Amino acid sequence: QGVSQLSLADRATIANMSPEYGATMGFFPVDRVTLDYLKLTGRSDETVSMIESYLRANKMFVDHNEPQQEKVYSSYLELDLGDVEPCVSGPKRPHDRVPLKEMKADWHACLDNKLGFKGFGIPKEEQDKVVKFDFRGQPAELKHGSVVIAAITSCTNTSNPSVMLGAGLVAKKACELGLEVKPWIKTSLAPGSGAVTKYLAKSGLQTYLNQQGFHIVGYGCTTCIGNSGDLDESVSAAISDNDIVAAAVLSGNRNFEGRVHPLTRANYLASPPLVVAYALAGTVDIDFEKEPIGTGKDGKNVYFKDIWPSNDEIAEVVQTSVLPEMFKSTYEAITQGNPMWNSLQVPTGTLYQWDPNSTYIHEPPYFKNMSLDPPGPHGVKDAR
């Protein structure tokens, strides 16, 4: 029953979060919501009708208004969608779920615990250490749990209008209240589709994301796969010289230690709006229900509830900003690339030109000295 109420974008997000619930993939059957999404994203009525006819003929289409035949599975799990609450995953594995309301307590437990998947083994007397340093001429400080990377990455949910526009609304509310992300936090935004760029611009929310440092850096794998680039030298030195357990918060689906960045020992997976919220707070050592994120321009404390958009606010901006033409124009130009991509020198010929200096693709050694006429079988000697 709950599935029929989920949007297609939410279903895709849940399916793509499979590493966080211990699965290879998630799957949702095709229904009317799926067909509506195909229309929203620019598919013709003829194409959608053909898809529906094919799926119905093969008994692969689910009509929630008709009696459902009992499905046979090897095991069953039931989830009440009313019990779902905000969570993050971390600090070292995608399936280590932490409810948002328990985050601060869990963080302190991780500092206390011996070194492991949920522990950093930091002595009690070292846990409150504050490291002060100079960042481009202005005073800065780091503590255990300080966020140094905040990334809205392309892999899990950055083609989901609700969470992307939700992140924009968080940034907008923060700007209006006078909150700013600390300049030494490396922020980035890598949308999952060019259509995202268009509806963020249409809504006017990209302006606020830019003000908080979440500029669009590209489309594809970025921080989640370790492509965040270097931290500022002063930040790197403050972490390395003082053994600080620095944190990264990203909307990806992999957070194994050392994958995101060598200097972020704590890496948390979160939704795009939460990524912005943690960037504003500047630390994962915070109880969003009780502690302020920062101080507004009026001198008053600003709390999580002050910057978090309501479902109605998100629905309104989705309704007015996400248009079928955006998807259609994006898909029509998908093979055109961009000027930088199109200017790349492409080798010609029938064989791949291996680059011995490449750190990404190497020629497999078993291809070397391979001829079209391989030698025949030979005897085996001294086998053990």
* pLDDT, tens digit (0-9, with 9 covering 90-100), for 342-364: 898 888 889 888 888 988 888 88
User: Residues 92-118: what's their mean pLDDT?
Assistant: 96
Following CA atoms 292, 244, 187, 137 in sequence, which dihedral angle do they give, to the nearest 10 degrees?
Answer: 90
Distance CA 176, CA 183 (A): 18
The pLDDT of residue 33 is 93
pTM: 0.84
pLDDT more than 70, % of the chain: 99
Burial of 348: CB neighbours in 10 Å, binned 0-12, 13-18, 19+: exposed
More confident residue, 368 or 267: 267
Is 182 a residue whose pLDDT tops 70?
yes
Strand partners for 131: 142
Q: Is 355 helix (H, G, I), strand (E, B) or coil?
A: coil
206 band by pLDDT with thresholds 50, 70 and 90: very high
**Among the listed residues 226, 227, 225, the one whose alpha carbon sits nearest the alpha carbon of residue 217:** 227
* pLDDT, tens digit (0-9, with 9 covering 90-100), for 236-245: 999 999 999 9
Is 28 a residue whose pLDDT tops 70?
yes
Following CA atoms 54, 57, 58, 62 in sequence, which dihedral angle do they give, to the nearest 10 degrees?
Answer: 90
For 286: left if phi > 0, alpha if psi spans -120 to 50, otherwise beta; the answer is: beta
- Kindly report the number of other CB atoms within 10 A of residue 308's CB atom: 17
User: Residues 139-163: what's their mean pLDDT?
Assistant: 89
User: Residues 177-193: what's their mean pLDDT?
Assistant: 95
CA triple 68-69-71, angle to 5 deg: 115
Following CA atoms 193, 197, 200, 201 in sequence, which dihedral angle do they give, to the nearest 10 degrees?
Answer: -160
158 band by pLDDT with thresholds 50, 70 and 90: low
The pLDDT of residue 278 is 99
* pLDDT, tens digit (0-9, with 9 covering 90-100), for 208-238: 999 999 999 988 888 888 888 899 999 999 9
The string of DSSP letters for 162-200 reads HHHHHHHHHHHHHHHHT----TTSEEEE--SSHHHHHHH
More confident residue, 153 or 268: 268
Mean pLDDT of the chain: 91
For the chain, the structural domain boundaries read 3-64, 87-321
In sequence order, what E strands does the chain have? 87-89, 97-99, 130-135, 138-143, 147-152, 186-189, 247-250, 266-269, 294-295, 301-302
- Mean pLDDT is lowest, of 31-35, 311-315, 342-346, for 342-346
Is 367 a residue whose pLDDT tops 80?
no
Following CA atoms 274, 276, 279, 284 in sequence, which dihedral angle do they give, to the nearest 10 degrees?
Answer: 0
Is 156 a residue whose pLDDT tops 70?
no
**What are the φ and ψ backbone dihedral angles of 130, each rounded to 5 degrees?**
-120, 125
Burial of 135: CB neighbours in 10 Å, binned 0-12, 13-18, 19+: middle
Is 71 a residue whose pLDDT tops 80?
no
User: Residues 332-345: what's their mean pLDDT?
Assistant: 84
* Residue that is written with structure tokens 């905040």 in the block: 150
Amino acid found at 203: S
| Cβ-proximal residues to 164 (8 Å cutoff; 6+ apart), any chain | 152, 157, 158, 191, 196, 199, 200, 272
Q: For domain 3-64, say whether CATH 3.30.465.10 is its number.
A: no
**Among the listed residues 270, 160, 277, the one whose alpha carbon sits nearest the alpha carbon of residue 224:** 270
Q: Are 152 and 248 in contact (CB under 8 A)?
A: no
Q: Is 260 helix (H, G, I), strand (E, B) or coil?
A: coil
Burial of 67: CB neighbours in 10 Å, binned 0-12, 13-18, 19+: exposed
The pLDDT of residue 73 is 84
Distance CA 231, CA 228 (A): 8
* pLDDT, tens digit (0-9, with 9 covering 90-100), for 38-69: 998 888 999 999 999 999 999 899 988 887 77
Residue 273, preceding peptide bond in cis (omega within 30° of 0): no
Is 109 a residue whose pLDDT tops 80?
yes
Q: Is 70 helix (H, G, I), strand (E, B) or coil?
A: coil
Q: Is 367 helix (H, G, I), strand (E, B) or coil?
A: helix
Q: What is the largest CA-CA distance in the chain?
A: 85
The pLDDT of residue 251 is 92
- Kindly report the number of other CB atoms within 10 A of residue 251's CB atom: 30
The pLDDT of residue 41 is 84
Architecture, CATH, for domain 87-321: 2-Layer Sandwich (3.30)
Following CA atoms 237, 238, 240, 242 in sequence, which dihedral angle do they give, to the nearest 10 degrees?
Answer: 140
